[in-house]
Amino acid sequence: MLTTPPILLTIPQAAEALAVSRHTIYRLVNDGLLPAVQMGAGTRSMMRVRHADCLKLVNKLATAPALR
C-alpha cells in the first residue's frame, strides 16, 4: 500500500529524506536553497520544510552541471 508523504517535514525528517545531516538542512535553509516555514513564535517555534521543496531541490541539483 502506498502512503502519501506529509506535506511538511520536520528538520530530522527532511534530513532523512535527503540523506544528509540536520546541519546540512539548516545550512541549505540559511543559504536560501531550501525554503522553510516557521510555525509558532518565541522559544516554542518550529521550522518545517515542504516535501515538495525537497523534491525541487533534488531535481535542481540533479540537473546542475557537475563541479570538477
Q: Is the pLDDT of residue 64 over 90?
A: no
Q: Which three cell numbers stand for residue 43?
A: 522559544
Give the confidence band of 62 by pLDDT, cuts at 50, 70, 90: confident
- What per-residue confidence (pLDDT) applies to 67? 63
Question: What's the whole-model pTM score?
Answer: 0.82
Distance between CA 46 and CA 41 in Å, rounded? 8
Give the confidence band of 28 by pLDDT, cuts at 50, 70, 90: very high
C-beta separation of 67 from 61 below 8 A: no
| Cα 38–chain centre separation | 13
- What per-residue confidence (pLDDT) applies to 45? 80
Domain boundaries, the chain: 8-63
Residue 3 CB neighbour total at 10 angstroms = 5
Kindly state the average pLDDT of the residues 22-28.
Answer: 97
Of 1.10.1660, 1.10.150, 3.30.70, 3.30.365, the CATH number of 8-63 is: 1.10.1660
